[in-house]
Amino acid sequence: MYSKRSRQRIIVNNMVSVIMFVLSMSSIVILAVIIGSIFSQGLSRVTWDFLTGFPSRKPDESGILPALVGSLIVVGGALLMALPIGLATAFYLQEFAHKRVFVETIQTLIYNLAGVPSIVYGIFGSAFFVATLKVIFENLHMTITTGRVLLAGILTMSILILPIIVVTTQEAIKTVPRNLKEASYALGASRVQTTGKITARFAFPNILTGLILSIARILGETAPLLLVGAAGFITFLPTNLFGSFTVLPVQIYSWIMRPQEAFQTTAAAGIIVLLLTQLLLSGIAIILRAVLQKRRY
């Protein structure tokens, strides 16, 4: 009886394994076909003139420079604002907080925020960073204002990636061996010194995982930035945080929606630039993480 049940379980297990393998390979094949189609259609359009040019109503003369610069500014600005807050929050919750109920409540909220759809962050950004702050600044008779400007996009994306940074940093801190901390305490180091010189140093390569995920998330988002004012047709580079802006996904979306067939080729070229930018930025972070891990060991 036992051997019969064992054979049945083996058969079921093999069947499930085969099904999962087929589904996985199907997804990979579909992705490969899509990427191949994009490269075959738009690779010839990726030229130096395309990378350094400005959008135009003529598809053959359209460039992607304002969107590329806008994406890089949004990525850099969002990371600059979210990283200090996210890292400080993660280290406090993991190393310093003592109130169990408080920590569990904050932790639950962070996990919930990590699962919130990006469009919700866009709605919040539109309501607060675009509308509310503008009214507050105007009532205070300040010369600066937010509205649908680059700063609103940066602020919105910073709160979008904040839960990712906190969660990944906490997981990185958990990988630090306890005996290293205890050895530091035994030598007379305080908790702050141990956290700064031992925990942070050992966990930093894994903390870069959150940086990689954040870069990928920011570069691929479209809906939140559309809601806070990213334009689909910008013929100038962003010069300050209180001006108009666009990003790669929004520019690509704008080209795809054009009725002229030639714009589809231009959109494919834009997708290639987006993929290459993603690979370049993530690749730099991955190489840096590998170098730091090698030095750590």
Which pLDDT does position 13 carry in this prediction? Answer: 85
Kindly state whether residues 108 and 7 are assigned to the same domain: no
Kindly state whether residues 143 and 280 are assigned to the same domain: yes
Kindly state whether residues 93 and 228 are assigned to the same domain: yes
CA 293 – CA 297 distance, rounded (Å): 6
CA 58 – CA 193 distance, rounded (Å): 60
Kindly state whether residues 134 and 7 are assigned to the same domain: no
In the predicted model, is pLDDT for residue 44 greater than 70?
A: yes
Structure tokens of 277?
A: 């930018």
What CATH number did the domain enclosing 273 receive? 1.10.3720.10
pLDDT digits (tens, 9 = 90+) for 71-90: 999 999 999 999 999 999 99
Which pLDDT does position 107 carry in this prediction? Answer: 86
Which pLDDT does position 82 carry in this prediction? Answer: 92
Contact indicator for 196, 173 with CB cutoff of 8 Å: no
Q: Could you tell me how many helices (H) and strands (E) the chain has, helices first? A: 13, 0
Kindly state whether residues 8 and 111 are assigned to the same domain: no
Close Cβ partners of 277 (under 8 Å, ≥ 6 residues apart)? 68, 71, 72, 219, 248
CA 256 – CA 250 distance, rounded (Å): 10
Which pLDDT does position 19 carry in this prediction? Answer: 92
Tell me what the pLDDT averaged over the chain comes to.
85
Kindly state whether residues 116 and 221 are assigned to the same domain: yes
Higher-pLDDT residue of 148, 238: 238
Which pLDDT does position 81 carry in this prediction? Answer: 92
Which pLDDT does position 20 carry in this prediction? Answer: 92
**If pLDDT is split at 50, 70 and 90, which confidence band does 143 have?**
low
What is the percent of the chain with per-residue pLDDT over 70, rounded to a whole number? 94
Higher-pLDDT residue of 3, 26: 26
- H/E run at residue 241: none
Which pLDDT does position 141 carry in this prediction? Answer: 66
Q: What is the mean pLDDT of residues 220-234?
A: 84
Contact indicator for 85, 164 with CB cutoff of 8 Å: no
Which pLDDT does position 116 carry in this prediction? Answer: 87
Q: What is the mean pLDDT of residues 148-168?
A: 89
Kindly state whether residues 217 and 272 are assigned to the same domain: yes
In the predicted model, is pLDDT for residue 272 greater than 90?
A: yes
Higher-pLDDT residue of 74, 212: 74
Higher-pLDDT residue of 267, 7: 267
Q: Which of 173, 213, 197 is nearest to 82 (CA)?
A: 213
Residue ranges making up the domain that contains 27? 2-43
Among 43, 60, 76, give the residue marking a domain's end.
Answer: 43
Which pLDDT does position 157 carry in this prediction? Answer: 92
Structure tokens of 114?
A: 């990590």
Specify the pTM. 0.85
Backbone phi and psi for residue 192, each to the nearest 5 degrees, phi listed first: -65, -45
In the predicted model, is pLDDT for residue 130 greater than 70?
A: yes
Kindly state whether residues 16 and 107 are assigned to the same domain: no
Kindly state whether residues 23 and 51 are assigned to the same domain: no
Close Cβ partners of 256 (under 8 Å, ≥ 6 residues apart)? 263, 264, 267
In the predicted model, is pLDDT for residue 297 greater than 60?
A: no
Instruction: Tell me which DSSP letter residue 44 carries.
Output: G
In the predicted model, is pLDDT for residue 284 greater than 80?
A: yes
Number of domains, the chain:
2
Kindly state whether residues 184 and 201 are assigned to the same domain: yes
Which pLDDT does position 102 carry in this prediction? Answer: 80
Alpha carbon separation from 233 to 54, 67, 169, 248, 271 (Å, rounded): 9, 9, 37, 11, 16
Q: What is the mean pLDDT of residues 53-80?
A: 89
pLDDT digits (tens, 9 = 90+) for 22-34: 999 999 999 899 9
Kindly state whether residues 81 and 13 are assigned to the same domain: no
Kindly state whether residues 145 and 240 are assigned to the same domain: yes
Which pLDDT does position 239 carry in this prediction? Answer: 81
Alpha carbon separation from 93 to 16, 86, 166, 262 (Å, rounded): 40, 11, 9, 53
pLDDT digits (tens, 9 = 90+) for 83-123: 999 999 999 888 888 777 888 888 888 888 888 888 899 88
Residue type at 1 in one-letter notation: M
Q: At what angle do helices 262-296 and 248-256 cross, to 10 degrees?
A: 160
